[in-house]
Amino acid sequence: MARGYIEDRELELLLRPLIYTSWMFYPFFGLLLAGVIWLFYNFQLQFFEGHHFTGQGSQGAIWGILVADIVHFIGISHVGIAISAVVRILNLERYKQLARIAELVTLASLTTAVLNISMDVGRPDRFIFNVVKHGRFHAPFVWSMTVITTYLIGSSVYLYLAMRRDLYICSLVLPSHKRWLYKLLALGYSDTPQSRQTHERVVWWLAVIILPIMVSVHSVYGYIFGMQAGRPGWFNPFQAPYFVLGAIVTGFSFVIIVLAILRQTFGWQEIFYPRIFKGLGVFLGFVTWLYLYFLFSEWLTGTYAPPAAERVVFNDVLFGRFAKITWPATILGMVVPFWIFFIQGANPRICSIKLTVLAAIPVFISMWIWRYLIVVPSFYHPHLPYKIAPYMPTFFDWSLIAGSFIFCAFLYTVLVKVLPVLELPEEVRVATHSPVILPYYVSPYERIKNILGLIKRFTIPLTLLAGVGLIATGIITRETPPAPAIWVLGIITLWSLPLQICILPKRESARRYRWPY
Protein backbone atom coordinates (compact mmCIF):
# COMPACT_ATOMS: atom_id res chain seq x y z
CA MET A 1 0.00 0.00 0.00
CA ALA A 2 1.34 3.39 -0.95
CA ARG A 3 2.30 5.70 1.88
CA GLY A 4 1.11 9.29 2.25
CA TYR A 5 1.11 11.83 5.02
CA ILE A 6 -1.15 9.65 7.17
CA GLU A 7 -0.35 6.21 8.52
CA ASP A 8 -1.27 3.11 6.54
CA ARG A 9 -3.55 1.98 9.36
CA GLU A 10 -5.75 5.01 8.85
CA LEU A 11 -6.04 4.34 5.14
CA GLU A 12 -6.80 0.71 5.90
CA LEU A 13 -9.53 1.77 8.32
CA LEU A 14 -11.18 4.12 5.83
CA LEU A 15 -10.97 1.65 2.93
CA ARG A 16 -11.70 -1.48 4.95
CA PRO A 17 -14.80 -2.58 2.93
CA LEU A 18 -12.72 -2.53 -0.27
CA ILE A 19 -9.74 -4.40 1.20
CA TYR A 20 -11.16 -7.15 3.39
CA THR A 21 -13.99 -9.62 2.88
CA SER A 22 -15.06 -11.81 5.79
CA TRP A 23 -16.23 -15.38 5.23
CA MET A 24 -19.63 -14.34 6.61
CA PHE A 25 -20.07 -11.99 3.68
CA TYR A 26 -20.53 -14.82 1.18
CA PRO A 27 -23.54 -16.57 2.76
CA PHE A 28 -25.08 -13.17 3.51
CA PHE A 29 -24.60 -12.02 -0.07
CA GLY A 30 -25.90 -15.37 -1.32
CA LEU A 31 -29.13 -14.93 0.66
CA LEU A 32 -29.58 -11.42 -0.74
CA LEU A 33 -28.96 -12.68 -4.26
CA ALA A 34 -31.53 -15.45 -3.78
CA GLY A 35 -34.06 -12.86 -2.60
CA VAL A 36 -33.38 -10.67 -5.65
CA ILE A 37 -33.85 -13.67 -7.97
CA TRP A 38 -37.16 -14.44 -6.24
CA LEU A 39 -38.24 -10.81 -6.71
CA PHE A 40 -37.52 -10.77 -10.43
CA TYR A 41 -39.16 -14.17 -10.85
CA ASN A 42 -42.38 -12.74 -9.40
CA PHE A 43 -41.96 -9.61 -11.49
CA GLN A 44 -41.77 -11.59 -14.71
CA LEU A 45 -44.92 -13.52 -13.73
CA GLN A 46 -46.81 -10.25 -13.42
CA PHE A 47 -45.17 -8.86 -16.57
CA PHE A 48 -46.39 -11.72 -18.76
CA GLU A 49 -49.62 -12.76 -17.01
CA GLY A 50 -51.03 -9.56 -15.49
CA HIS A 51 -52.13 -8.25 -12.09
CA HIS A 52 -54.43 -11.13 -11.19
CA PHE A 53 -51.71 -12.40 -8.84
CA THR A 54 -52.23 -9.34 -6.65
CA GLY A 55 -55.11 -8.31 -4.41
CA GLN A 56 -55.83 -5.26 -6.56
CA GLY A 57 -58.01 -4.60 -9.58
CA SER A 58 -61.65 -5.64 -9.65
CA GLN A 59 -61.42 -7.02 -6.11
CA GLY A 60 -61.44 -3.51 -4.63
CA ALA A 61 -58.42 -1.24 -4.41
CA ILE A 62 -56.62 -0.33 -7.63
CA TRP A 63 -53.62 0.76 -5.54
CA GLY A 64 -52.21 -1.40 -2.80
CA ILE A 65 -49.22 -2.02 -0.61
CA LEU A 66 -46.81 -1.67 -3.54
CA VAL A 67 -47.77 2.01 -3.89
CA ALA A 68 -47.17 2.44 -0.16
CA ASP A 69 -43.76 0.86 -0.74
CA ILE A 70 -43.00 3.32 -3.56
CA VAL A 71 -43.77 6.30 -1.33
CA HIS A 72 -41.74 4.72 1.48
CA PHE A 73 -38.58 4.20 -0.59
CA ILE A 74 -38.79 7.64 -2.15
CA GLY A 75 -38.98 8.94 1.42
CA ILE A 76 -35.83 7.03 2.34
CA SER A 77 -34.01 8.53 -0.63
CA HIS A 78 -35.08 11.99 0.49
CA VAL A 79 -32.80 12.27 3.49
CA GLY A 80 -29.66 10.62 2.16
CA ILE A 81 -28.80 13.39 -0.26
CA ALA A 82 -30.24 16.01 2.12
CA ILE A 83 -27.77 15.04 4.87
CA SER A 84 -24.88 15.14 2.43
CA ALA A 85 -25.93 18.49 0.95
CA VAL A 86 -26.48 20.15 4.34
CA VAL A 87 -23.18 18.81 5.69
CA ARG A 88 -21.37 20.22 2.67
CA ILE A 89 -23.16 23.59 2.57
CA LEU A 90 -22.87 24.26 6.32
CA ASN A 91 -19.46 22.57 6.63
CA LEU A 92 -20.52 20.30 9.51
CA GLU A 93 -17.23 18.53 10.21
CA ARG A 94 -18.70 16.19 12.83
CA TYR A 95 -21.01 14.58 10.26
CA LYS A 96 -18.64 14.74 7.29
CA GLN A 97 -18.02 10.99 7.12
CA LEU A 98 -21.75 10.33 7.34
CA ALA A 99 -22.35 12.17 4.06
CA ARG A 100 -21.14 9.45 1.67
CA ILE A 101 -23.03 6.72 3.55
CA ALA A 102 -26.20 8.81 3.24
CA GLU A 103 -25.56 9.46 -0.47
CA LEU A 104 -25.38 5.73 -1.16
CA VAL A 105 -28.65 5.28 0.76
CA THR A 106 -30.26 7.73 -1.66
CA LEU A 107 -28.94 5.91 -4.72
CA ALA A 108 -30.00 2.45 -3.52
CA SER A 109 -33.46 3.45 -2.25
CA LEU A 110 -34.32 5.63 -5.25
CA THR A 111 -33.36 2.82 -7.63
CA THR A 112 -35.59 0.49 -5.60
CA ALA A 113 -38.45 3.01 -5.82
CA VAL A 114 -38.10 3.09 -9.63
CA LEU A 115 -38.17 -0.72 -9.66
CA ASN A 116 -41.32 -0.65 -7.52
CA ILE A 117 -42.97 1.75 -9.96
CA SER A 118 -42.13 -0.67 -12.77
CA MET A 119 -43.67 -3.55 -10.83
CA ASP A 120 -46.77 -1.55 -9.92
CA VAL A 121 -47.60 -0.58 -13.52
CA GLY A 122 -47.06 -4.19 -14.56
CA ARG A 123 -45.74 -3.43 -18.04
CA PRO A 124 -43.01 -0.79 -17.71
CA ASP A 125 -42.31 -0.96 -21.45
CA ARG A 126 -45.84 0.23 -22.23
CA PHE A 127 -45.69 2.75 -19.41
CA ILE A 128 -42.53 4.38 -20.78
CA PHE A 129 -43.82 4.32 -24.36
CA ASN A 130 -47.19 5.84 -23.47
CA VAL A 131 -45.76 8.51 -21.16
CA VAL A 132 -43.18 9.53 -23.76
CA LYS A 133 -45.50 9.44 -26.77
CA HIS A 134 -48.86 10.43 -25.30
CA GLY A 135 -48.02 12.14 -22.00
CA ARG A 136 -49.74 15.43 -21.15
CA PHE A 137 -48.11 18.06 -18.96
CA HIS A 138 -50.94 17.92 -16.40
CA ALA A 139 -50.76 14.11 -16.00
CA PRO A 140 -49.44 12.91 -12.60
CA PHE A 141 -47.29 10.20 -14.19
CA VAL A 142 -45.58 12.78 -16.41
CA TRP A 143 -44.51 14.86 -13.42
CA SER A 144 -43.56 11.72 -11.54
CA MET A 145 -41.30 10.74 -14.45
CA THR A 146 -39.86 14.26 -14.60
CA VAL A 147 -38.94 14.64 -10.93
CA ILE A 148 -37.72 11.04 -10.50
CA THR A 149 -35.47 11.31 -13.58
CA THR A 150 -34.14 14.69 -12.45
CA TYR A 151 -33.48 13.48 -8.91
CA LEU A 152 -31.90 10.15 -9.88
CA ILE A 153 -29.52 11.62 -12.46
CA GLY A 154 -28.70 14.64 -10.31
CA SER A 155 -27.95 12.46 -7.27
CA SER A 156 -25.72 10.18 -9.36
CA VAL A 157 -23.76 13.13 -10.78
CA TYR A 158 -23.41 14.65 -7.31
CA LEU A 159 -22.24 11.36 -5.80
CA TYR A 160 -19.73 10.68 -8.57
CA LEU A 161 -18.08 14.10 -8.51
CA ALA A 162 -17.96 14.07 -4.70
CA MET A 163 -16.06 10.75 -4.68
CA ARG A 164 -13.98 11.11 -7.86
CA ARG A 165 -10.81 12.03 -5.96
CA ASP A 166 -11.27 9.04 -3.66
CA LEU A 167 -11.65 6.77 -6.69
CA TYR A 168 -8.35 8.12 -7.98
CA ILE A 169 -6.61 7.44 -4.66
CA CYS A 170 -8.07 3.91 -4.62
CA SER A 171 -6.48 3.32 -8.03
CA LEU A 172 -3.09 3.96 -6.42
CA VAL A 173 -3.29 2.40 -2.96
CA LEU A 174 -5.52 -0.67 -3.31
CA PRO A 175 -4.15 -4.10 -4.27
CA SER A 176 -2.92 -4.17 -7.85
CA HIS A 177 -5.65 -6.49 -9.19
CA LYS A 178 -8.31 -3.92 -8.21
CA ARG A 179 -6.62 -0.75 -9.41
CA TRP A 180 -7.76 -0.96 -13.03
CA LEU A 181 -11.41 -0.56 -12.01
CA TYR A 182 -10.83 2.60 -9.98
CA LYS A 183 -8.50 4.03 -12.60
CA LEU A 184 -11.30 3.56 -15.10
CA LEU A 185 -13.90 5.11 -12.77
CA ALA A 186 -11.68 8.11 -11.99
CA LEU A 187 -11.69 9.09 -15.70
CA GLY A 188 -8.25 10.66 -15.77
CA TYR A 189 -8.52 12.63 -12.52
CA SER A 190 -5.37 14.50 -11.44
CA ASP A 191 -5.04 15.32 -7.74
CA THR A 192 -3.93 18.93 -8.13
CA PRO A 193 -5.03 21.97 -6.09
CA GLN A 194 -6.80 23.37 -9.14
CA SER A 195 -8.72 20.13 -9.72
CA ARG A 196 -9.74 19.94 -6.07
CA GLN A 197 -10.93 23.52 -6.08
CA THR A 198 -12.98 22.94 -9.24
CA HIS A 199 -14.61 19.81 -7.84
CA GLU A 200 -15.35 21.40 -4.47
CA ARG A 201 -16.94 24.44 -6.09
CA VAL A 202 -19.07 22.39 -8.50
CA VAL A 203 -20.18 19.91 -5.83
CA TRP A 204 -21.09 22.76 -3.46
CA TRP A 205 -23.36 24.32 -6.07
CA LEU A 206 -24.82 20.90 -6.90
CA ALA A 207 -25.71 20.54 -3.21
CA VAL A 208 -27.52 23.89 -3.32
CA ILE A 209 -29.40 22.91 -6.50
CA ILE A 210 -30.33 19.40 -5.44
CA LEU A 211 -32.01 20.35 -2.14
CA PRO A 212 -35.09 21.98 -3.76
CA ILE A 213 -35.19 19.15 -6.32
CA MET A 214 -35.28 16.69 -3.42
CA VAL A 215 -38.24 18.54 -1.87
CA SER A 216 -40.03 18.63 -5.22
CA VAL A 217 -39.91 14.84 -5.61
CA HIS A 218 -41.98 14.04 -2.54
CA SER A 219 -44.11 17.15 -3.03
CA VAL A 220 -45.19 15.83 -6.43
CA TYR A 221 -46.27 12.55 -4.86
CA GLY A 222 -48.15 14.52 -2.21
CA TYR A 223 -49.92 16.44 -4.98
CA ILE A 224 -50.83 13.18 -6.74
CA PHE A 225 -52.81 12.22 -3.65
CA GLY A 226 -53.90 15.66 -2.47
CA MET A 227 -55.47 16.85 -5.73
CA GLN A 228 -57.89 13.94 -6.14
CA ALA A 229 -61.13 15.48 -4.93
CA GLY A 230 -63.04 12.24 -5.42
CA ARG A 231 -60.96 10.36 -2.87
CA PRO A 232 -61.96 10.99 0.76
CA GLY A 233 -58.91 11.11 3.00
CA TRP A 234 -56.66 12.29 0.18
CA PHE A 235 -58.01 15.67 -0.90
CA ASN A 236 -55.91 17.93 1.29
CA PRO A 237 -53.81 21.04 0.52
CA PHE A 238 -51.21 19.94 3.09
CA GLN A 239 -50.43 16.57 1.50
CA ALA A 240 -47.18 17.87 -0.06
CA PRO A 241 -45.57 19.14 3.21
CA TYR A 242 -47.08 16.11 4.97
CA PHE A 243 -45.28 13.80 2.55
CA VAL A 244 -42.02 15.76 2.76
CA LEU A 245 -42.04 15.61 6.56
CA GLY A 246 -42.83 11.90 6.47
CA ALA A 247 -39.91 11.39 4.11
CA ILE A 248 -37.55 13.14 6.54
CA VAL A 249 -38.74 10.93 9.42
CA THR A 250 -38.38 7.76 7.32
CA GLY A 251 -34.99 8.67 5.91
CA PHE A 252 -33.39 9.68 9.20
CA SER A 253 -34.56 6.52 10.95
CA PHE A 254 -33.17 4.40 8.12
CA VAL A 255 -29.82 6.23 8.04
CA ILE A 256 -29.41 5.65 11.80
CA ILE A 257 -30.03 1.92 11.33
CA VAL A 258 -27.65 1.63 8.37
CA LEU A 259 -24.95 3.64 10.14
CA ALA A 260 -25.13 1.39 13.20
CA ILE A 261 -24.80 -1.74 11.04
CA LEU A 262 -21.79 -0.39 9.11
CA ARG A 263 -20.14 0.86 12.30
CA GLN A 264 -20.36 -2.57 13.88
CA THR A 265 -19.46 -4.51 10.73
CA PHE A 266 -16.32 -2.58 9.77
CA GLY A 267 -15.12 -1.52 13.23
CA TRP A 268 -15.66 2.21 12.69
CA GLN A 269 -16.28 2.95 16.38
CA GLU A 270 -13.60 5.64 16.49
CA ILE A 271 -15.09 7.41 13.45
CA PHE A 272 -18.79 7.29 14.38
CA TYR A 273 -18.79 7.90 18.10
CA PRO A 274 -21.95 7.97 20.28
CA ARG A 275 -22.39 11.76 20.07
CA ILE A 276 -23.08 11.48 16.34
CA PHE A 277 -25.91 9.02 16.99
CA LYS A 278 -27.25 11.21 19.77
CA GLY A 279 -27.36 14.23 17.44
CA LEU A 280 -29.18 12.23 14.77
CA GLY A 281 -31.58 10.88 17.38
CA VAL A 282 -32.40 14.34 18.71
CA PHE A 283 -33.24 15.57 15.22
CA LEU A 284 -35.28 12.43 14.47
CA GLY A 285 -37.20 12.98 17.70
CA PHE A 286 -37.95 16.57 16.69
CA VAL A 287 -39.29 15.67 13.22
CA THR A 288 -41.25 12.75 14.73
CA TRP A 289 -42.94 15.23 17.06
CA LEU A 290 -43.77 17.43 14.06
CA TYR A 291 -45.23 14.42 12.25
CA LEU A 292 -47.38 13.61 15.28
CA TYR A 293 -48.61 17.20 15.19
CA PHE A 294 -49.59 16.78 11.52
CA LEU A 295 -51.38 13.53 12.38
CA PHE A 296 -53.31 15.16 15.22
CA SER A 297 -54.35 18.07 13.00
CA GLU A 298 -55.50 15.69 10.28
CA TRP A 299 -57.44 13.51 12.72
CA LEU A 300 -59.11 16.50 14.36
CA THR A 301 -60.16 17.94 11.00
CA GLY A 302 -61.36 14.55 9.75
CA THR A 303 -63.50 13.74 12.78
CA TYR A 304 -64.82 17.07 14.14
CA ALA A 305 -67.10 18.37 11.37
CA PRO A 306 -66.00 16.82 8.07
CA PRO A 307 -68.02 15.91 4.97
CA ALA A 308 -69.77 12.57 5.27
CA ALA A 309 -67.26 10.63 3.17
CA GLU A 310 -64.29 12.00 5.10
CA ARG A 311 -65.93 11.06 8.39
CA VAL A 312 -66.44 7.48 7.22
CA VAL A 313 -62.79 7.10 6.16
CA PHE A 314 -61.36 8.58 9.36
CA ASN A 315 -63.68 6.51 11.54
CA ASP A 316 -62.52 3.44 9.64
CA VAL A 317 -58.86 4.34 10.22
CA LEU A 318 -59.18 5.34 13.88
CA PHE A 319 -61.97 3.13 15.20
CA GLY A 320 -62.83 0.60 12.49
CA ARG A 321 -61.08 -2.15 10.56
CA PHE A 322 -57.72 -0.31 10.43
CA ALA A 323 -57.62 0.73 14.11
CA LYS A 324 -55.69 -2.42 15.08
CA ILE A 325 -52.67 -1.18 13.11
CA THR A 326 -53.25 2.58 13.44
CA TRP A 327 -52.84 2.85 17.19
CA PRO A 328 -49.84 0.50 17.63
CA ALA A 329 -48.06 2.31 14.77
CA THR A 330 -48.78 5.66 16.39
CA ILE A 331 -48.12 4.87 20.05
CA LEU A 332 -45.39 2.24 19.85
CA GLY A 333 -43.88 3.49 16.60
CA MET A 334 -43.90 7.25 17.25
CA VAL A 335 -44.96 8.40 20.72
CA VAL A 336 -42.70 6.03 22.67
CA PRO A 337 -39.63 6.59 20.41
CA PHE A 338 -40.18 10.35 20.64
CA TRP A 339 -39.93 10.23 24.43
CA ILE A 340 -36.81 8.07 24.19
CA PHE A 341 -35.17 10.62 21.91
CA PHE A 342 -36.38 13.50 24.08
CA ILE A 343 -35.08 12.03 27.35
CA GLN A 344 -31.73 11.16 25.81
CA GLY A 345 -31.41 14.62 24.25
CA ALA A 346 -32.38 16.44 27.45
CA ASN A 347 -30.06 14.42 29.69
CA PRO A 348 -26.35 15.01 28.94
CA ARG A 349 -25.40 11.86 30.85
CA ILE A 350 -27.38 9.59 28.50
CA CYS A 351 -25.64 8.89 25.20
CA SER A 352 -26.52 5.39 24.03
CA ILE A 353 -26.17 4.10 20.47
CA LYS A 354 -28.29 1.04 21.25
CA LEU A 355 -31.08 3.21 22.65
CA THR A 356 -31.04 5.43 19.55
CA VAL A 357 -31.15 2.48 17.16
CA LEU A 358 -33.85 0.67 19.15
CA ALA A 359 -35.99 3.82 18.96
CA ALA A 360 -35.29 4.36 15.23
CA ILE A 361 -36.41 0.85 14.19
CA PRO A 362 -40.09 1.18 15.28
CA VAL A 363 -40.21 4.67 13.72
CA PHE A 364 -39.08 3.22 10.39
CA ILE A 365 -41.65 0.40 10.57
CA SER A 366 -44.49 2.68 11.64
CA MET A 367 -43.81 5.03 8.73
CA TRP A 368 -44.34 2.16 6.28
CA ILE A 369 -47.61 1.33 8.06
CA TRP A 370 -48.73 4.95 7.76
CA ARG A 371 -48.02 4.91 4.02
CA TYR A 372 -50.34 1.90 3.86
CA LEU A 373 -52.97 3.80 5.87
CA ILE A 374 -52.72 6.75 3.49
CA VAL A 375 -53.10 4.65 0.34
CA VAL A 376 -55.57 1.85 1.06
CA PRO A 377 -58.49 3.03 3.30
CA SER A 378 -59.76 5.57 0.76
CA PHE A 379 -60.50 2.79 -1.73
CA TYR A 380 -63.05 1.24 0.62
CA HIS A 381 -65.31 4.30 0.29
CA PRO A 382 -65.31 5.34 -3.39
CA HIS A 383 -68.85 6.90 -3.43
CA LEU A 384 -70.24 4.08 -5.55
CA PRO A 385 -73.84 2.77 -5.35
CA TYR A 386 -72.58 -0.73 -4.59
CA LYS A 387 -70.16 -2.32 -2.16
CA ILE A 388 -66.69 -3.40 -3.18
CA ALA A 389 -64.73 -6.41 -2.03
CA PRO A 390 -62.24 -5.88 0.81
CA TYR A 391 -58.64 -5.43 -0.24
CA MET A 392 -56.48 -8.30 0.94
CA PRO A 393 -52.81 -8.33 -0.07
CA THR A 394 -51.86 -11.73 -1.44
CA PHE A 395 -48.70 -13.73 -0.86
CA PHE A 396 -47.55 -12.39 -4.22
CA ASP A 397 -47.94 -8.79 -2.96
CA TRP A 398 -45.95 -9.51 0.17
CA SER A 399 -43.29 -11.26 -1.91
CA LEU A 400 -42.81 -8.08 -3.94
CA ILE A 401 -42.60 -5.99 -0.77
CA ALA A 402 -40.07 -8.28 0.90
CA GLY A 403 -38.15 -8.59 -2.36
CA SER A 404 -37.92 -4.81 -2.74
CA PHE A 405 -36.30 -4.46 0.69
CA ILE A 406 -33.92 -7.30 -0.14
CA PHE A 407 -33.09 -5.65 -3.47
CA CYS A 408 -32.31 -2.37 -1.69
CA ALA A 409 -30.04 -4.18 0.78
CA PHE A 410 -28.39 -6.08 -2.10
CA LEU A 411 -27.72 -2.92 -4.09
CA TYR A 412 -26.41 -1.06 -1.05
CA THR A 413 -24.10 -3.97 -0.21
CA VAL A 414 -22.68 -3.93 -3.74
CA LEU A 415 -22.11 -0.17 -3.55
CA VAL A 416 -20.36 -0.48 -0.18
CA LYS A 417 -18.06 -3.23 -1.49
CA VAL A 418 -17.22 -1.41 -4.73
CA LEU A 419 -17.12 2.31 -3.87
CA PRO A 420 -15.21 4.13 -1.10
CA VAL A 421 -17.85 4.67 1.59
CA LEU A 422 -15.83 7.12 3.68
CA GLU A 423 -14.25 10.28 2.38
CA LEU A 424 -10.46 10.19 2.39
CA PRO A 425 -8.87 13.19 4.13
CA GLU A 426 -7.09 15.92 2.22
CA GLU A 427 -3.75 15.01 3.80
CA VAL A 428 -3.51 11.87 1.69
CA ARG A 429 -0.86 12.36 -0.97
CA VAL A 430 0.41 9.90 -3.51
CA ALA A 431 3.67 10.65 -5.25
CA THR A 432 3.35 11.54 -8.92
CA HIS A 433 5.92 12.62 -11.45
CA SER A 434 6.32 16.33 -11.98
CA PRO A 435 6.52 17.60 -15.55
CA VAL A 436 9.90 18.42 -16.99
CA ILE A 437 9.73 21.66 -18.97
CA LEU A 438 11.45 21.47 -22.32
CA PRO A 439 11.61 24.36 -24.76
CA TYR A 440 10.51 22.72 -28.00
CA TYR A 441 8.50 19.59 -27.21
CA VAL A 442 4.84 18.91 -26.42
CA SER A 443 4.02 15.38 -25.29
CA PRO A 444 1.07 13.52 -26.90
CA TYR A 445 -0.66 13.55 -23.50
CA GLU A 446 -0.48 17.34 -23.35
CA ARG A 447 -1.65 17.64 -26.94
CA ILE A 448 -4.78 15.64 -26.11
CA LYS A 449 -5.40 17.73 -22.97
CA ASN A 450 -5.10 20.95 -24.94
CA ILE A 451 -7.49 19.68 -27.61
CA LEU A 452 -10.04 18.64 -24.97
CA GLY A 453 -9.59 21.98 -23.21
CA LEU A 454 -10.28 23.78 -26.47
CA ILE A 455 -13.37 21.63 -27.09
CA LYS A 456 -14.57 22.37 -23.54
CA ARG A 457 -14.78 26.08 -24.34
CA PHE A 458 -17.43 25.30 -26.95
CA THR A 459 -19.27 22.31 -25.47
CA ILE A 460 -20.26 24.00 -22.20
CA PRO A 461 -22.12 26.99 -23.72
CA LEU A 462 -23.59 24.76 -26.44
CA THR A 463 -24.80 22.25 -23.85
CA LEU A 464 -26.34 25.06 -21.80
CA LEU A 465 -28.15 26.44 -24.84
CA ALA A 466 -29.31 22.97 -25.91
CA GLY A 467 -30.62 22.08 -22.45
CA VAL A 468 -32.48 25.35 -21.94
CA GLY A 469 -33.78 25.20 -25.50
CA LEU A 470 -35.15 21.68 -25.10
CA ILE A 471 -36.86 22.55 -21.80
CA ALA A 472 -38.36 25.71 -23.33
CA THR A 473 -39.52 23.78 -26.39
CA GLY A 474 -41.17 21.15 -24.22
CA ILE A 475 -42.97 23.79 -22.15
CA ILE A 476 -44.11 25.78 -25.19
CA THR A 477 -45.42 22.67 -26.95
CA ARG A 478 -46.75 21.11 -23.73
CA GLU A 479 -50.13 20.32 -25.30
CA THR A 480 -48.48 18.31 -28.07
CA PRO A 481 -46.79 14.98 -27.35
CA PRO A 482 -43.97 14.15 -26.92
CA ALA A 483 -43.42 17.42 -25.03
CA PRO A 484 -42.61 15.70 -21.68
CA ALA A 485 -39.89 13.63 -23.33
CA ILE A 486 -38.40 16.81 -24.81
CA TRP A 487 -38.13 18.68 -21.51
CA VAL A 488 -36.81 15.59 -19.70
CA LEU A 489 -34.13 15.31 -22.39
CA GLY A 490 -33.30 18.96 -21.75
CA ILE A 491 -32.94 18.31 -18.01
CA ILE A 492 -30.63 15.36 -18.68
CA THR A 493 -28.58 17.56 -21.02
CA LEU A 494 -28.14 20.20 -18.31
CA TRP A 495 -26.99 17.57 -15.80
CA SER A 496 -24.05 16.83 -18.11
CA LEU A 497 -22.65 20.33 -17.48
CA PRO A 498 -21.06 19.54 -14.07
CA LEU A 499 -19.45 16.45 -15.59
CA GLN A 500 -17.98 18.48 -18.45
CA ILE A 501 -16.67 21.16 -16.10
CA CYS A 502 -14.90 18.64 -13.88
CA ILE A 503 -13.85 15.88 -16.29
CA LEU A 504 -12.76 17.77 -19.38
CA PRO A 505 -9.32 19.32 -18.69
CA LYS A 506 -8.68 23.02 -18.75
CA ARG A 507 -6.62 24.21 -21.70
CA GLU A 508 -3.06 24.93 -20.62
CA SER A 509 -0.91 27.80 -21.76
CA ALA A 510 1.54 27.37 -24.60
CA ARG A 511 4.30 25.93 -22.40
CA ARG A 512 6.16 22.84 -23.57
CA TYR A 513 5.99 19.74 -21.37
CA ARG A 514 7.56 16.38 -21.39
CA TRP A 515 6.58 13.69 -18.90
CA PRO A 516 9.28 11.16 -17.95
CA TYR A 517 8.47 7.55 -18.72
Question: pLDDT, tens digit, for every residue of 335-349?
Answer: 999 999 999 988 888
Distances 100 to 37, 264, 277, 404, 422 between C-alpha atoms, Å? 28, 17, 16, 22, 6
CATH code reported for the domain at 9-428 = 1.20.1630.10
Rounded CA separation 275/282 (Å): 10
Residue 437 three-state SS: strand
Residue 513 three-state SS: strand
What ranges do the domains of the chain cover? 9-428, 449-505
Is residue 515's pLDDT more than 80?
A: no
Per the rule left: phi > 0, alpha: psi between -120 and 50, beta: everything else, 111 is: alpha
Question: pLDDT, tens digit, for every residue of 189-217?
Answer: 888 888 888 989 999 999 999 888 888 88
Rounded CA separation 171/208 (Å): 30
Taking each helix axis from N to C terminus, what angle separates 444-476 and 483-503, rounded to the nearest 10 degrees?
160
**Looking at per-residue confidence, does 517 or 340 come out higher?**
340
Q: What is the pLDDT of residue 222?
A: 83
Taking a C-beta distance cutoff of 8 angstroms, is the pair 329, 369 a contact? yes
Least Cα distance to 409 among 157, 104, 119 occurs for 104
Taking a C-beta distance cutoff of 8 angstroms, is the pair 129, 105 a contact? no
Count of CB atoms situated within 10 Å of the CB of 132 = 17
Distances 56 to 59, 326, 484 between C-alpha atoms, Å? 6, 22, 29
Q: What CA dihedral angle connects 439, 443, 449 and 455, to 10 degrees?
A: 80
Contacts of 155 (CB under 8 A, 6+ apart): 77, 81, 103, 106, 107, 110, 210
Distances 353 to 325, 417, 435 between C-alpha atoms, Å? 28, 25, 50
pTM reported for the whole predicted model:
0.87
Q: What is the mean pLDDT of residues 360-370?
A: 94
Question: pLDDT, tens digit, for every residue of 23-60?
Answer: 899 999 999 999 999 999 988 888 888 777 777 665 56
